[in-house]
Structure 1
Amino acid sequence: MSLVSCRLKDFFVFLCCILFSTTGWGQIQGSVRDTTNLPVAYANVLLLNQKDSSIVSAVMATDEGTYNITTFRPGKYIIGASLIGYKPAYSLPFSIVSSNDHRHNDPIYLEMLNHQIQEVDVVAKKPVYELKVDRMVVNVENSITSSGNTALEVLEKSPGVVVDRQNNGISLVGKSGVIVIINGKRTPLPVDAAIQMLDGMNADNVKRIELITTPPAKYDAEGDAGIINIVLKKHEDFGTNGSFNLGAGVANREKMNAGLNINHHTNKVNYYGTYNVNFNNLRQHFESYRRLMQSGVQIESDAISLRKPMILFQNIRMGFDYTISSKTTLSVLTNGYIRDWEMDAFNDVRYWEDQQFSKSSMLELTETNKWIHGMGNINLRHHFQEEEVLDFNFDYLNYYNDNPSDYIVENRDNTDLVTSSENIKVTKTTPIDLIVGSLDYSNQFNSNFKFEAGGKVTYTWFENDVGVRYLRSGNWEFDPELTNNYSLNENIMAAYASLHYKIGDQTSIVGGLRYEYLNSVLDSETEKGIVDLHYGKLFPTFYLSQKLNEKNTIQFSYSRRIDRPTFNELAPFIILMTPETFISGNENLLPAFSNILKADYQYKSAMLSFSYTDTKDAISRFQPTYSEDETKQYFVSRNFDRSKTFSVLLAFPITVTDWWKMQNNFTWVRNQLKTDYEDIFLDIRRENYRINSSHSLTVSKRVSGEVSGFYRSKSNSGLYERKPSGRLDIGMQWKLKNENSRFNLNVTDLLKTNKLKSVADQPELNIYTRWYLDFESRAIRLTFTHRFGNEAIKVRKRKTASETEQRRVN
């Protein structure tokens, strides 16, 4: 028998052992609530013998008022709950038949003691900001400024986070390459659709936001800026619940959205499903200017583009979790989306030679960009003991992108007479397939020591068929410079181990090491081995946290990270901006490697953070370059030899009155780029800062308002200098009497100041380009949201194996 067959046999036996493991580690679940049906956090919960009220087991309820008892034998019991300031309460008697029973009790209701109501008026809460050993935590549920907002709005107000709604980008303390995950799972959406999803997600469902600028070894090494983990609230009750929302808005054109979310949890199975649809009819205004010297003549072009894109996005997610035994859970998840993007545009381009008007071009564009995605995940989780867990994931993903565009170009001379016309067709199809498997083990040996280890394998295949054709003499002729068929085969193998150790109550240390090995080969029909990478790299991480006293904490960390090109950047494509200006992919793009040092200081709820990042082969998007004959200009992603970033973050809340609270964040960034750009050495140094301030106003119990805004100074993006920008948003929320329904009225970019202006001025490269982009960001939206059914459903939150791979597609 071959070695592979033996390994497969051993693995099959291992899975069978887990699947049929039903030995006794049962669960008794329930919740503790007050007389208004709100959760009672951290209540004492006792499992008592019905016969003599002796204590069998004791646990503490979670901050959501739920409990889970796993230590017991068959018998007759009652549950008792108590907390200072409340009268003790008890459940009805119940029987446990076997030690493998999975039982859920009705809620236990605690009544507050009358004589303490007036005396006790201080409630312990977590601070809005917490500094932990490897991350900064924003406790959204304790932040009044977050009530009634969306998850994206909460993310925008988080310390050091910059959300670029216009370009659908997110950066953290001055660095791009951020990975956004939800409950530890990256959302499988294109970037703009993911931002739309966060913009439609109710912040009341967000428990906390974790800003992990130096992620530990268990996470993939991808993402040089770090990870933003949005943790949603989870509950522990059984039953059925759901919610739906309907929204409409207007800017220059209409906007509509709707969503449905349903969960159903029984003793053994949890079913869930969501469907969301978003329609956005936009009107956009772009301007671009280009100047260069060509054969001793100064050539200038000035283009105005009026665009009419329409976006219809539909996403569906379904799955179930099946409790095989009290130790083992099997989960199946399917997810898919269809994103239809259609646009008509009219471009007016004018040309000058030595400041004399020479000609003009009119360009009419019709473009379609359709993405179809499907994903399946199988997850098996087994508890050897309560704190010893093994997780197995297997994912299959498929993406298909169809992106055709048609251009009609009409050229005129300086007297406005038509001199020529041209028809251009561009086609691009890109199917992508991924298979991902991972195995993760963790064991909390005691309260001071935890060990984690695991491995992951990823296989990726994609093809990218690009064609550019011109209609000449009645025949369509391919442009050989821009037409080709590319194929990529890539696999990544990874393994990691990490140790968490606490030295007393004041000091915590985390150390980890991750190893990743990459094989990546990109070929075309005309050239083999365009990319031929084979390498293995180590990615160490180290954290030290020291609590000085109850109010002061300091922390130091180091990590090494990688920023791999997205598949779209590696897959060449062509978008015509003008007859001489193109946006294109870059098959020669290399991964970037970063070393990151970080120091943090926390005083109560105020945060001060310092970060230094040194990056080799930094990836910079949308950078200008010319064709060899200088007749065409391309904007592509490219590597810069070295990038160094130093940042300082200061975040602090202010309570002005009981009805007016504010949160203020200040970020300062200094960036230096050194690179050989078209055989010219560049050393670009720039500084920038960003100020965020949000004000929460409580009008009454059901009516609240918010005013928030930001100002961003001029900053850099590769060769470009971005001009200052800012935005002011206002919103009102009205909750109905039953608290399950509410209306939100919001105005974004009230003063219409959030427009992107950028300039690339590099005389030694013969480059001068400036852009003005108005994405129609100001809009008025009215949204109605209603929750129905049991509001506390146990929904298992878990990761899949393919989170990083989904980001690279997106």
Structure 2
Amino acid sequence: MALLVTCSAMAQVSGRAQTSGGQAASFATVTLHSNTDSTFTRSVLSNDAGEFIFSGISKDLYFISIKSLGYQTVRSVVFQLDDAHPTYNTGTLTLQPADRQLSEVVIRASKPVVRQQEGGLVVDAQASILTKGSTVMQVLARSPGVLVDVQTGAISLNGKSGVMLMIDGKLLRMPAAQANALLAGMQADNIDKIELLSTPPAKYDADGNAGLINIVTKKNKKRGMSGSVSVSAGYGRGEKLSGDANVTYNAGKLSLNGEYGYYRSKGYGLLLAEGTENVPLIGGQTEFHYNGQWKPTANSHNFGAGADYRLSTKTTIGGRFYVSKSAGQNKGHNFGNYLLPDSNLVFDSQLLGNTHSTYSHQNAYLQSILSAAQQLSIDLDHFGHQNNGITSVQSNFSNSLFAPTQRSLANSNINVWVAKADYSDALSKSLKLESGVKGTFTSSKSVAGIENLVNGQWQPIGAGTSNDLGTRENILAAYTTLALQVDSLTKISAGGRYEYSHNYTSHSLNAEFAVDRKVKKLFPSIFITRKLNATDELQLSYTERITRPSFNDLASYVSYNDPVSVFTGNPALKPTITRNLKLGYQLHDYVLNLVYSHDTNPILGVQALTGPTEGLVYLKPANADWQRNLTLQAVIPVKVASWWEMNYSLLAGWHQYRVSFFPSLLQKGYTSWSVNFTESFKLPKSFSAELSGNYYSSGYDSNLKIGGNGVINLGLKKELGNQNGTLQLSVADVFGTSFFRSHMGTLVTDSFNSNVHVQYRPESNGRPIFRLSYTRPLGISVKKQERKDGGNEERSRM
């Protein structure tokens, strides 16, 4: 209590910095000076919105100065802080361009690799030297609290699935497999930061019970021509090649940019399974040994172009076009031995899958500064995704359902239109309003199924193994948030987001797949922040979120897995409603978060369930009854010496869930933990090195027990100097320890009496992946204010 009394006697100064063009002056140096002798008192950096705040200040006469590269220093008026005036807001201070351009400026500074913001953590992607030559998916997998299932591509955050992915604030509204393929083909060299928003505020879409992951790309605004080129080559069990080039031309009012990227990777995966299972399709209870070997090849070309034009000092319009074309081939060899009471069946098959997909995004925007306190932005977006895939199977195995020659088809066409408007207004020195409306309109058409080759003709297998489906989804949303600076130490931000969604099938050949679902809900959020002193802060928040079933989850496909099982969707899936209560504490750069969440109807991944065809195993998603999580997260940066820095992220959790779709009720509670670490070393002669890794303890998922797993990565970088770029060598999974184990049927007996042990060995298991990368800048890049443009949360659920 004595601490609070002391702090309440201190004063606070806040304000905002912007450029002469009306854009926020992000990361400007703001200095507080004593007016008595102009001595330096304290310095901070402005945030992404150009805002700054000084807390815990002694009473005195002060003035503020603001500096930013390429701009003249601006100075505020002198102001008094005393008992009658404990707070002061400078308003918006405008930076004017410098009279002359500097030929070259080299700035060397460091910022925290991981830092706290309202809603979650921010990871500086370029702080790691392993970023060069890596894909966005690989960098994401190394982020604290993020777990990427190397077999299925499923992403979880802080131990929970149901994560929505965003790029520059726009949701990736496409099937999870295609979203993962897109990120696997994107070069991480162009990534600025990754926002891990476990409890996002109301301005973000309410989708995602585990929260949002926002991947923010780099921008630059240097006058004239600038850009960079990057090439990378590597090898594991197959070659890895990538190249990227981007260029920006800024003529003041008009800015143009373009980019091209190429990615190619040959991979490897080995699946081993053994156990017992009751499969009536081949004769009942069987003991089996199964292995599947996969050799995927991925190729992608990515193109992007954009333009921004300043109509006036207060209004900017612009647009952007992006397209990604990818082709993949997956060669597989599956072998199985099924031991029945009176016979022994041997399964041997060759699989060849070919997939072609195109993803495109077009955006147009208008951003206007209506007054010193008011801003308006309007965005229109279109996202398109087309995917055509066919997998052929040659097998020595036949039964009542499958012929020796089969093929699996999966074709989809998805279009998303988004319209969004956001408005902000500083109603007073202590009260700020943010509000907006958004409409998202999605149409999807998919044809999928499995066919047998009979007498030279392709014939559908039968009920439950094919579908021709058309779906639509409309989401209308509105949000309002009020941020109140209660006093010099306390800030409250409260708001709500109302969403109406209508999800329905517009066409289906199978009446079982008919869906017509409407959801209307208000999602409240509140954040209370209390400064304990100049460096320590407490935060308490409450948020609510929803996870709507994707169209794939609801039944848009049927695909072959093995002679006794198929992958499919579940039209009976319900949306998940999540409530989060979070307590956060920050001490300097140390972060500690305690989060409790409760999920109603959480959506579980692949489950072995019965279906229309008797005896066939249907692998599909299903709802659990509920799930509770209590997680403790700690981010611990340590600077051992000027040449050695460490960063550790620890996560410990207690989890409990209940599932009732098995023959008997399943209720389970367990604890888990994980650690991510990075050790960075500055070496002589412009060399640097990094050692990083992670470990995830064992845990449970429905009726599956999952073993622990960990990896160690290594990177070495050389700055060539004189604008000659950087050369980097990285080694992923140095000791080949990436090895995933699970046990199905460990808790209750399922519909097939399964007792199965599974091992999955990815490409790096036993053989590290080496990459050599070279990057060279074209001109001098300066990071640009990130514009919050408008389909701002769009591409992840399709």
Q: TM exceeds 0.5?
A: yes
Query: 1:511 aligns to what?
Result: 494
Query: 2:332 aligns to what?
Result: 345
Query: 1:320 aligns to what?
Result: 307
Quick check: 2:129–2:715 contact (8 Å CA) kept in 1?
A: no
Structure 1 counterpart of 2:388, from 402, 421, 428 = 402
- Note if 1:476 corresponds to 2:463: no
The structural deviation recorded for 1:202 is 3.0
Quick check: 2:717–2:728 contact (8 Å CA) kept in 1?
A: yes
Alpha carbons of structure 1 residues 802 and 526: separation in structure 2 relative to 1, 3 Å:
farther
Aligned residue type for 1:196: A
Structure 2 counterpart of 1:389, from 362, 366, 375 = 375
- Kindly provide the CA deviation profile for residues 390-430 of structure 1, in whole angstroms up to 9, marking residues without a partner as x: 111112222111111111110399xxxxxx96111222221
User: Counterpart of 1:202 in 2: which secondary structure?
Assistant: helix
- Note if 1:196 corresponds to 2:184: yes
Structure 2 counterpart of 1:779, from 769, 783, 797 = 769
- Note if 1:243 corresponds to 2:231: no
Structure 2 counterpart of 1:640, from 615, 624, 630 = 624
- Note if 1:181 corresponds to 2:171: no
Query: 1:11 aligns to what?
Result: none
- Note if 1:272 corresponds to 2:257: yes
- Kindly provide the CA deviation profile for residues 228-258 of structure 1, in whole angstroms up to 9, marking residues without a partner as x: 3344555553211111111111111111001
Quick check: 1:30–1:105 contact (8 Å CA) kept in 2?
A: no
Query: 2:446 aligns to what?
Result: 464
Quick check: 1:359–1:412 contact (8 Å CA) kept in 2?
A: no
Distance in 2, Cα, partners of 1:222 & 1:682: 27
Quick check: 2:576–2:601 contact (8 Å CA) kept in 1?
A: yes
Structure 2 counterpart of 1:454, from 427, 436, 442 = 436
Query: 2:346 aligns to what?
Result: 360
The structural deviation recorded for 1:281 is 1.1
Aligned residue type for 1:306: Q
Query: 1:305 aligns to what?
Result: 292
Instruction: Using CA pairs under 8 Å that are at least 6 residues apart, name the structure with larger relative contact order, 1 or 2.
Output: 2
Distance in 2, Cα, partners of 1:344 & 1:719: 30
Quick check: 1:169–1:191 contact (8 Å CA) kept in 2?
A: no
**Which structure 2 residues correspond to residues 759-778 of structure 1 after superposition, within 5 A?**
759-761=743-745, 762-765=747-750, 766-777=753-764, 778=768
Quick check: 1:668–1:688 contact (8 Å CA) kept in 2?
A: yes
The structural deviation recorded for 1:111 is 14
Quick check: 1:600–1:607 contact (8 Å CA) kept in 2?
A: yes
Structure 2 counterpart of 1:688, from 654, 661, 672 = 672
Structure 2 counterpart of 1:497, from 472, 477, 480 = 480
Aligned residue type for 1:439: A
Structure 1 counterpart of 2:530, from 546, 550, 553 = 546
Quick check: 2:391–2:409 contact (8 Å CA) kept in 1?
A: yes
Distance in 1, Cα, partners of 2:429 & 2:49: 21
- Kindly provide the CA deviation profile for residues 582-604 of structure 1, in whole angstroms up to 9, marking residues without a partner as x: 22233332221101111112222
Aligned residue type for 2:20: Q
The structural deviation recorded for 1:82 is 8.2
Worse-superposed segment, 168-177 or 720-729: 168-177
Aligned residue type for 2:625: D
Distance in 1, Cα, partners of 2:736 & 2:651: 23
User: Counterpart of 2:665 in 1: which secondary structure?
Assistant: strand
- Note if 1:223 corresponds to 2:208: yes
User: Counterpart of 2:791 in 1: which secondary structure?
Assistant: coil
Structure 1 counterpart of 2:468, from 485, 489, 505 = 485
Structure 2 counterpart of 1:171, from 151, 156, 159 = 156
The structural deviation recorded for 1:164 is 4.2
Alpha carbons of structure 1 residues 580 and 802: separation in structure 2 relative to 1, 3 Å:
farther
The structural deviation recorded for 1:551 is 3.7
The structural deviation recorded for 1:788 is 0.7
Quick check: 1:551–1:603 contact (8 Å CA) kept in 2?
A: yes
The structural deviation recorded for 1:41 is 3.6
Structure 2 counterpart of 1:259, from 244, 256, 264 = 244
- Note if 1:437 corresponds to 2:419: yes
Distance in 2, Cα, partners of 1:480 & 1:215: 45
Alpha carbons of structure 1 residues 28 and 282: separation in structure 2 relative to 1, 3 Å:
closer
Alpha carbons of structure 1 residues 519 and 318: separation in structure 2 relative to 1, 3 Å:
same
TM-score of the pair, normalised by structure 1: 0.81
For the aligned residue pairs, the C-alpha RMSD in angstroms reads 3.7
- Kindly provide the CA deviation profile for residues 26-85 of structure 1, in whole angstroms up to 9, marking residues without a partner as x: 9369999xxxxxx9844799xxxxxxxxxxxxxx997699999xxxxxxxxxxxx9899x
Query: 1:797 aligns to what?
Result: 787
Distance in 2, Cα, partners of 1:89 & 1:712: 50
Aligned residue type for 1:807: S
- Note if 1:27 corresponds to 2:11: no
Alpha carbons of structure 1 residues 290 and 470: separation in structure 2 relative to 1, 3 Å:
farther
Alpha carbons of structure 1 residues 574 and 769: separation in structure 2 relative to 1, 3 Å:
farther
Distance in 2, Cα, partners of 1:148 & 1:378: 31
Query: 2:645 aligns to what?
Result: 661
Report the number of matched residues: 720
Distance in 2, Cα, partners of 1:351 & 1:265: 66
Distance in 2, Cα, partners of 1:517 & 1:83: 44
The structural deviation recorded for 1:633 is 1.7
Alpha carbons of structure 1 residues 796 and 546: separation in structure 2 relative to 1, 3 Å:
closer
User: Counterpart of 2:636 in 1: which secondary structure?
Assistant: strand
Quick check: 1:31–1:237 contact (8 Å CA) kept in 2?
A: no
Alpha carbons of structure 1 residues 323 and 187: separation in structure 2 relative to 1, 3 Å:
farther
Alpha carbons of structure 1 residues 130 and 445: separation in structure 2 relative to 1, 3 Å:
farther
Distance in 1, Cα, partners of 2:104 & 2:240: 47
Alpha carbons of structure 1 residues 26 and 466: separation in structure 2 relative to 1, 3 Å:
closer
Distance in 2, Cα, partners of 1:536 & 1:249: 50
The structural deviation recorded for 1:301 is 2.3
Distance in 2, Cα, partners of 1:609 & 1:333: 37
Structure 1 counterpart of 2:581, from 579, 594, 597 = 597
Aligned residue type for 2:796: R
User: Counterpart of 2:660 in 1: which secondary structure?
Assistant: strand
- Kindly provide the CA deviation profile for residues 616-669 of structure 1, in whole angstroms up to 9, marking residues without a partner as x: 110111222234676322221221111111111122122333322211221112
Distance in 2, Cα, partners of 1:66 & 1:613: 30
The structural deviation recorded for 1:135 is 3.4
User: Counterpart of 1:385 in 2: which secondary structure?
Assistant: coil
Aligned residue type for 1:465: V
The structural deviation recorded for 1:152 is 6.1
Aligned residue type for 2:741: K
Quick check: 2:742–2:759 contact (8 Å CA) kept in 1?
A: yes
The structural deviation recorded for 1:558 is 0.6
**Which structure 2 residues correspond to residues 526-537 of structure 1 after superposition, within 5 A?**
526-527=510-511, 530-537=514-521
Distance in 2, Cα, partners of 1:29 & 1:528: 55
Unmatched segments (≥5 aa) in structure 2: 1-17, 34-42, 52-63, 75-93
Query: 2:90 aligns to what?
Result: none
